[in-house]
Structure 1
């Protein structure tokens, strides 16, 4: 027996690897036993005299022995299944890279075994190449490549397959993944490795061709058009790329089937689809179809309806017998899941309390390819709101939210009211409009009750404007504070300053802007619910501006010559219920004093004196834009305003016809170079006196109209057409149109430091205010078309890109007015809205027409947008 111990050639060896089968193990076992000159042809039973563990392993010996099942004192058969099963159990732990079982010694009927192990290496560090740094952590997490994990062949293979599939779905059809491990020496002689995951995404694969087989009823052109996001290469197409995206492709396959269903082929299906990789690294897609037969609508009957008659429901279905069967259209007219406010039967019931209703179309006959339908309706009980709550508002007080809710406890359920409430909360500007969620809790069909919970996420509603720049001949500094969720009642409560009193939905704004040539101070405050019971908004604003005349000789501001405007405006705006509750009627009373101190310019014919402006503004708006005021995806916004002054000329007793005649006579003297200087000076002084009398109290009427529409062409791609019109008129033609309140068209639309009450109209692609005369126009019109697409709509920053076409102009009178004589432009831009800073943006516009007084087209212009919404 000692010979057997010392002779390694007679050692019994069982060795296996992960990919070796048990049969090979048994053959090896039988072979080595025969080498010991022991007759084990049919196996022999032994008692295990002892088991030892050796090799490169960190596991406790007793733990390994216990897990293997090879315990001292138990009987085993050699060769037999006991040792094979022990090896299988150890492999199944996925902790070892190598397992060997040796028969060390046989003493009588006792067998002594040795288990030699090599632990699987542990992962120390992972390096991922070929992707952005921001994506690395996600890849490590998704594939569970954390420090300390055991590195197996399965882990490596699984990681490779996952990454290839991941990028294939994103259009990188030729992604290659290579994973290498590098052994790291350890002082404890433990197996440890570093891993390098090299990803080569390659280029997104393009689609060379899309081939349909089995199509005869519909043309390939129609089927390709139905595939909205999967397009073959076409150099003339701009908006839709030809890159392959697996998720979009799968959705487009369903769209192909839907297109058949829309055209009467309800049994159409895709038998097979395959992707062929071409030699030029493009792919071709082959889709095999089975169209089936053409079906038509037969009789459509309603079952179970008691609230609405068949005739009323027919008005929503709008399908006549004999029409080509269109399953997609039928479903949309029963319940359009793409439109929460769709004109369908489900919304008819849900908007009138029947939350628990269900409508199911059932085909009762398809004889001769004519489909008879029963629309089976289970109306259920009318539902009433039980508890209505809002969660997530940490800063905004409950009453500010609850007064906007269209859903009240005890009120009959209406889906339209739920949708409208989400819109109203989004329009407040205090919450992330994308995160407002209506949650239905505790529905009770038996009692007809439902609990309603609106979940909101607050965003920063205060803004700070602190900037400096060069413009208007010098440095301009601006400090602005805007608090859009202010609480005036807590202004003397020191505990409410966190950092300011907030939560009552009021708006408070302070602004200071100054340079060498002008100073502007303004204050405004608004309360959206005056008295707290009705949606009547009260607002007040105060402003004071001062502009100094530019000294052309030294380039400095002449502070002895100034033009000041001081004004106050009080306003009320009330939400209406007719014609519908999207209308708002607004009224404002304003008073301004224009004070000129030796301030002679081309705009004013009197340099000393003052003008006073007392005016009343009446406005009617209708705004039903959807949810997010920063990025509306639907609805419209119309407004018409009239600003009127009292007709002072009716009762001031002045003869303006005589004054105009006298003014014209003096103007002739002023224009006559042969007149003595004394006569011309006297004529100029008299013109100033006449104009001071004409404009002592400003007399005018001003009408503005603006309309915007928002249409979502595809997911988040929004088209915004817009039209604008403005007219400034005079009651008394002899008195004439006032030199204030005029329209200045062109540029970024920012008023900058203009102090004459002018209305600045944006028209990108042209320099600021370049499309109006020096004195401004009394009429303007503008047409705009924008295409918008969001980059992100997160609460921290909303970013969207846009393209635009614009046209507009200003005119001095109706004699000059030509709505088709417009200055055209086109361009691209981007908008960024951050709660703390408001709306920022940049536009690159190309003007196709010349600026008045020039011959060449305007060309490219860059415009910066600050704090305005377009």
Structure 2
């Protein structure tokens, strides 16, 4: 009853206030406000608890109104601003007697950041990934974000069992040590790769297309693509899509790439779901030009697709590039080539039309290179056929992006554009993510001719971040020994000329097939020129010395024992008197009779001493393969000639030629003709 009386009185009071307001034409404010007997001013703020941050700095976050006083809203905004700085754990305002007291608890300063338990990832790498810094303030939300980032770094390297626990060790003077305790775990591999919906190509064939591979228990220590990497899986989806487009499946969709951890297999099962569609062939092909004075006939010679061929999206893309470059050579720098396709579902053909139009006059204002840590800027810029100030051409930008990807220096390459300082200006942004370019390989084998053999090599494709190639290899075997040093500069003196040299030493010991030892030492230099996209020319010079060493028992049987000469005299230094069995008293000559003697040619080479060979040569290579790693179609032809006699001791001419013709006979079956 008492509660009801209070409720009735409250409602009555509210009605009186509301009625009076309406009669007076006023507006009722329903926003609660805190009223102070005496509002504080900025000069009356008292700061407590601060040790490192100046009091005036804290006061500056509280901005009074026009009357110089602070209301509840302004105090609340000041508290929020102080908290957002990350310098304080707590900010507590109190008002008493017209004075505002701000009591703060500062975040401690990080004295040291340490990592414990990390063996596979170095401290410097982890420190570069986290936001917490030594001599900075400690923020618990930032520490949690750093913990998640460390976990992500390990998972990117395939260690999904990683555990990271941050520890905060308090020190005097409001300082702390931040320690991340890491349990790395083992690498999580890809156990099974499955494909769903693939009818035209087998799973075995598609596994060759993608970069991710299944773990081979015997060769796991040599594999790099068998570790689960989400970025690599996403790149594999694009590789599969381009593969199908290259083989005529223009409606292909890579629906999903699902990764599931299988505890029984202790690894991931990757499933790619594919909708292939139908395979199309090329119907009619035509070239039209709306640019005055540009004859389409000049561009038709650049076609890479012809009626009757299986539709190839990559060939269409290269045709656009070649036509664009040819139009630029003819003086039409802003010409744009646009391909259009008309499908006929009944005949499964695609009619192609390449239309050349006058593009918008846009120039490249600037090229920004971002993400390169080791690689120098000029190594990236030299892959562009256009520079700052040139006419913008999308086809040439696409070519540069493809070249950068083919270098093998980068994990990801993306070129994007943004508006420049004027409507006719554009800025190119080249975003790259570097990857490891070093290689260490160990190989071995056995053959009846050479016995056991092994090789250890160290190579670097991006030496010193300058795009240079260097390799050191050492071979050691039962009958062979050798070493080789190689170096290549793909852009010699800033031009697209590959210059390189090799220094080598080889020793071949006598075997059951070769009855003498050869020692070869020398060097070679070479220059390579790219004449066209599919045609290369290499000029080389080699100088090497070869020495033949013959075992004493193979020089002449008569020379083993001086007394043997009186019994079986020889007419000259290369003559010999054959004998089936050693005479009495000469049983120690069994090896001579069992192994026989070296040929006269070999003994002549021994007598003449080391032979110096000096030769020049060239190689002409035509490469029209669809894929250098796993070709399924195309032609590879090489013609080589060497001319010895430019000095030295020997003269000869050597001519060799090879022709490789690949054709896909059936899906997953590629025919090879080698001449």
Q: TM-score, normalised by structure 1?
A: 0.37
Q: TM-score, normalised by structure 2?
A: 0.47
